[in-house]
Structure 1
Amino acid sequence: MTHSAMAKDRPKSSSKAKVTSVPKVRLYVEPPEEKNWFVHVGHVTDRGRWRTEPHAHPAYGQLIFVRSGRGVMNLEGSNLPFEGPCALLLPTECVHGLDYEVDADRWVVTIEVAYLTQINAKLHEFITLWGLPRMIPLSYSTEAGVEFFNLIKSLKQEVESDAVGHVVATEALLTTLLLMLVRETRLDQTASESATRNDIRLVERFRKLIDEHYRENLPLQEYASMMAVSLVQLRAACASATDQSPTKMIHARIITEAKRNLIFGDMSVEQIAFGLGFADAAYFTRFFRKEVGQAPSQFRAAARQ
């Protein structure tokens, strides 16, 4: 289904109601006193069971190092068990809930989204790493858990330090931490390794614009114009950095939001369709079935069961 086909049924809407029913929170831990920060490290220990309801934090990416303990992470409605030592990677806007079933010792690294974009531009694999929420086990060897723990402790010390070069040291340690996760995670190399930094930056800008405008059914040319590039450049960058077309990326964002509303919200399928910019529920149902393989009502029933 092409973007132009969607345009026939999905008019631009001047009144776009927010349909997301998932709470949006700023920080999982208390922020530092200074305003100009880009990384925060917190250490949390709780006795017994500890739980958070599904939520998202659009301005931050988070890495939770579970040194010990176990639990279940709810990711967009699906449950993923985990046991320390492991790392839980939570990209911006990722809807997640956490249920620690036993005493847990965990370290939370919160990364401001603008700086996370800079980090991702350093290495194509970083974009792949943050492309999906994931649980990365570190229990296969004692050395892996210890090495990761030592990196976290060093990062916390530098973040809280006023010593000369502490910002440079923080950046270096954070990069090393993420690089270790890349190497520990057997990532599927779906995108071309020849993607340039310019391609990666362009695609990151495109993702941000999609997040801002996916309900409006903008033509691809309008996205390209906002980024001051040609359609050819946009398509080439998306193919190089993500192995997807621009239209596919837009469709994926619409489907993600539709799934969130179906799982966590109480709106009808028709209300969700209108909130996402579709002219009628029937077309939304056809679009959703083509992308997901199920009708929205079927997906909702299966996910909640």
Structure 2
Amino acid sequence: MAAAAEGRIPHYFLYGDQSADVELDFLHIEAIRERSGPHDWRIRPHSHPDHMQVLFIRDGGGTIRMEDQTLDIHPPAVMVIPAGIVHQIDFHAGTDGFVVTASLGCLRSTSVGEPRFEAAAARPAVYPLEGTGLNIPAVDDTFTWLHREFIWSAPGRRTVIIAQYMRILVTILRLSITRDDPGSAAPSRDYDLLVRYRALLETHFREQRNLGFYADALAVTRARLNAACNARADKTASDLLHERILIEAKRYLVYSESSVAQVAHLTGFEDPAYFNRFFTQRVGMSPGAFRRQLHRSRQ
């Protein structure tokens, strides 16, 4: 896997675009070949901090690496890449389909009245469509129709685009339920608190804040925050904080050429030795050993 330039993992709205798109706060769709073809069908490691993606793979296939897991793509398939997930895609030459990139604001507004859409969109996954019971031609038609409306400037364009995007969210919700059958529990106060805590972590996890800081910011006690995390994530609030730090550390170890000391600094540790102990205790190996193991596995 190619390392990111200058030790930094690129952040894009659309892959390779450094500037904001004209509809950055809305939604974009394009054929996979339009961007992947000119890049020799390889999308190198990057993430979209404020946008999530849904891809429909009609023909072709390949592999996608999301964080430290590699998944095969067997078309027809739908892929979900949540906001902030570092990913790399190696398509087979000539792969056909569409990629939809939507802002988190668009996702949230489309999910009003059905919060499970956001939960489904937050789960990185590759869903083969064969054998799911879904109407595959209808899924194909949804992406094709969205692409047509995106290109045209016909009356009612925005409304139709949102309607087709909602159909896509329904598709990934049903696929996520079919895959694991997690049930359809209604959102609760615990869920809401967990979501707000995760959002707060994204802003402050590099600052070495203690649990009291997060509880105060959320206007709850530490016990209440822990209870919500245990109820909805089966982990303590501290576990989630440490997990988020480790995810970021692993990203830099896997996707960049930064030294272990630099990774420590990038994840908020002033003392690289303390970072080494923190990482080793929770991963079972040192940062250097973790990097070497992953490099060997890719050879």
**Structure 1 length as normaliser, TM-score?**
0.78
Specify the alignment match of 1:94 in structure 2.
85
Distance 1:252 1:20, change over 3 A: farther
**Alignment partner for residue 51 of structure 1, among 30, 42, 47?**
42
1:275 and 2:266 are equivalent in the alignment: yes
- 1:163 corresponds to 2:119: no
Q: What per-residue deviation string (whole Å, max 9, x for no partner) do you get for residues 231-254 of structure 1?
A: 344334434443332222211110
The residue aligned with 2:3 is: none
Q: Give the direction of change, closer, same or farther, for the CA distance of 1:189–1:255 in structure 2 (3 Å limit).
A: farther
* Residue number in structure 1 paired with 2:61: 70
The 1:99/1:291 distance shift into structure 2, 3 A limit, reads same
Q: Aligned partners of 1:255 and 1:144: how far apart in 2?
A: 40
The residue aligned with 1:40 is: 28
Deviations 1:6-36 (A, max 9, x none): xxxxxxxxxxxxx962111121498998557
Q: Write the distance in 2 (CA, Å) between the matches of 1:63 and 1:275.
A: 29
Moved more, 252-261 or 272-281: 272-281
What is the alpha-carbon distance in structure 2 between the residues aligned to residue 191 and residue 212 of structure 1? 31
Q: Is the 8 A contact 1:55 1:96 kept in 2?
A: yes
SS class of match (2:281): helix
Aligned counterpart for 1:195 among listed residues 173, 187, 192: 187
Percent identical among aligned pairs is: 29
Which ranges in structure 2 are unaligned for 5 or more consecutive residues? 1-5
Residue type of the partner of 2:81? L
CA distance in structure 1 between the partners assigned to 2:238 and 2:153 by the alignment: 45
In the alignment, is residue 209 of structure 1 matched against residue 203 of structure 2? no
- Alignment deviations for residues 237-280 of structure 1 (CA, whole Å, 9 cap, x no partner): 43444333222221111011110111122222233223322343
Contact 1:124–1:241 at 8 Å: present in 2 too? no
Residue type of the partner of 1:38?
Answer: F
Distance 1:195 1:53 in 2: 36
CA RMSD of aligned residues (A): 3.3
CA distance in 2, matches of 1:41, 1:78: 26
Counterpart contact for 1:124–1:193, Cα < 8 Å: no
| 1:221 CA displacement | 2.5
Give the deviation of 1:154 after TM superposition: 3.1
Read off the aligned partner of 2:261 and give its amino acid letter.
E
Deviation at 1:192, TM superposition (A): 9.0
Deviation at 1:297, TM superposition (A): 1.7
Question: For 1:142-291, what aligned pairs fall within 5 Å after superposition?
Answer: 144-157=135-148, 159=150, 163-164=155-156, 167-185=158-176, 186-188=178-180, 193-196=185-188, 198-291=189-282
Aligned AA (1:22): I
Q: Provide the aligned length of Structure 1 versus Structure 2.
A: 285
Sort the Cα spacing of 1:121 and 1:247 in 2 relative to 1 into closer, same or farther, 3 A: farther
1:114 equivalent to 2:101? Answer no
User: Structure 1's 238 and 179: CA in aligned 2 closer, same or farther, altered over 3 A?
Assistant: farther
| Structure 1 unaligned spans of 5+ | 1-18
Give 2:292's match in structure 1, choosing from 279, 286, 301: 301
Correspondence 1:25 to 2:16:
no
- The 8 Å contact of residues 121 and 169 in structure 2, kept in 1 or not, is answered as no
Give secondary structure in 1 for the equivalent of 2:207: coil
Cα distance per residue 1:135-191 (max 9 Å; x no partner):
111133796431211121233355556535x55554443233222222223454779
Report the TM-score, using the length of structure 2 for normalisation: 0.80
Rounded to whole Å, the distance in 2 between the matches of 1:142 and 1:29 is 36
Q: Secondary structure at the match of 2:32?
A: strand
SS of the residue corresponding to residue 205 of structure 1 reads helix
Contact 1:73 1:79 in 2 (8 A): yes
